[in-house]
Chain A
Amino acid sequence: MSTPSQTVGPYLSIGLPWEDGPDVVPEGTAGEILIWGTVFDGAGAIVPDALIETWQADSNGRFDHPDDPRGAVKGFRGFGRCPTDNDGSYSIRTVMPGPLPGQAPHIDVSVFARGLLHRVVTRIYFADDASDPVLASVPEERRSTLIAVKSGGGYRFDVRLQGEGETVFFDV
């Protein structure tokens, strides 16, 4: 009985961006990292009207959330949001997430855009860790699309919605 999803449309940037959206942590936070990249469509063109949202654990692998059975740890927003710019790029300021029980450090990502009737979900990893069950479930030749590459003082994570090098998207 769920309400269906619909596209954010071309004008999402009037409604969804926040001034501090890209800052999961404030500038100057110890251990801050920048994750940045570009969103591309199936023709290799940049997507200037997308929105990237991120959700992650803190550097100890904990969440400020009541449903975490290990208990909520207060204070870490964990959420980032950045619309893509005219050049299709986004960036998020955060800290490296800690490992979770049985899982390598990762960040969950939602991508919204004109032309996406439903968000698509992917994950950012920081290394190809074969012991991670989600990475292990992805065909080996596609695994690199989930791994952010250290670059330019941050981590680069591009999203390819379609075609060659298509990012792995998940059914969550």
Chain B
Amino acid sequence: MGNPTKLKLPQYLRDPEGTQPPLDSPGYGSTALRHPKQPLVLLPQKLTEITGPVLGPGRLGELDNDLTRQHAGEPQGQRIIVGGRLLDGDGRPVRNSLIEIWQANAGGRYRHNLDRWPSPVDPNFTGVGRALTDDEGRYEFTTIKPGAYPWKNHHNAWRPAHIHFSVFGSAFTQRLVTQMYFPDDPLFSQDPVFNSVPDEKARQRMISKFDFSRTLPEWALGFEFDIVLRGREGSVFEAEEEDDDE
């Protein structure tokens, strides 16, 4: 009967009520048949949850973070630079971490065969980018400001301009897909996706800031968008081996 080895596992904080949108959000019609109705079961954070994919430079092409240079010509629209930091809830940078983005073109049209509203596809814009954060958690994309677009959620529904962001962080618990919005968008008030987040301050964290310091003369407007993932709350210990020979 020996002392079992103990494993020390970091634990990740759960977000305060109101930070995350409820899966059942009646204003957003598509949630009706897609949200679970049974209560979620609490999953203790063990080895599979406190680890996660480490997806490095092998995933990136040279022009992946410049969406304006992926074709023979330049895309239409307002050229912008979007940058910021990927942080965990304690303000620590998440380093060498993959960030993926996708978006509509300047006219609000996605390069997707199911997007059929009457706004033209731009032959010089795919709308997909990837970047890796640096040692301070920083990332930067050059792209085109996406346009707003109509959808059929309710009468005269329009999505505010946004860029989809997908980030991994350092653990399965931190995986996040969100949307980055632009300051002062008049369409916020009628958008059930943006407004699905109950907490006003949390909603504001999805809105980028105009960033004059990132703005390049004669070239592009700058926007800053920091992404904050769940922080850690100490560690728990658990036995590495069950000791049965008592």
- Whether B205 pairs with A162 at a CB distance below 8 angstroms is no
Known: A11-B102, A14-B126. A121 touches B178 (CB 8 A): no
- A8 shortest CB reach to chain B, Å: 5
Task: Say what secondary structure dominates the interface of chain B.
Answer: loop
Which of A11, A116, A134 meets B31, CB within 8 Å?
A116
Give B209-242 interface residues, CB cut-off 8 Å to A.
226-231, 238-242
The reply to whether A47 and B34 contact each other, CB–CB distance below 8 Å, is yes
Residues on the B chain within 8 Å of A45, using CB: 33
Measured in the bound complex, the distance between the Cα atoms of B92 and A59 in whole Å is: 32
Query: Chain A residues near B175 (CB, 8 Å)?
Result: 53, 110, 119
The answer, yes or no, to whether A155 is at the interface (CB within 8 Å) is: no
Find out whether the CB atom of B48 lies under 8 angstroms from the CB atom of A55: yes
Interface string of A92-118 (1 = CB under 8 A from B): 000000001111001010101111111
What is the interface size of chain B, counting residues whose CB is below 8 A from a CB of the partner?
81
Q: Mark B22-51, 1 if CB is under 8 A from A, else 0.
A: 110100101111111110111111111111
Contact A63:B51 (CB < 8 A) given known A14-B112, A41-B34, A171-B41 = yes
Q: Secondary structure at chain A's binding surface: helix, strand, loop or mixed?
A: loop
Interface centre among A55, A121, A172 (most CB of B within 10 A): A172
User: Quick check: A42 and B34 within 8 Å, CB to CB?
Assistant: yes
Whether A18 lies near B38 (C-beta < 8 A) is: no
Known: A5-B176, A115-B31. 12 other contacts (CB 8 A): A7-B177, A12-B102, A42-B32, A55-B52, A57-B47, A67-B170, A68-B51, A103-B48, A110-B172, A114-B30, A138-B41, A170-B42
Q: Which B residues contact A (CB, under 8 angstroms)?
A: 7-10, 14-15, 19-23, 25, 28, 30-38, 40-55, 59, 89, 100-102, 110-112, 114-115, 126-128, 164, 166, 170-173, 175-179, 193-194, 196-197, 202-203, 205-206, 226-231, 238-242
Interface residues, chain A, CB within 8 Å of chain B?
1-16, 18, 41-43, 45, 47, 53, 55-57, 63-70, 77-79, 100-103, 106, 108, 110, 112-121, 123, 133-134, 137-138, 142, 161-163, 166-172
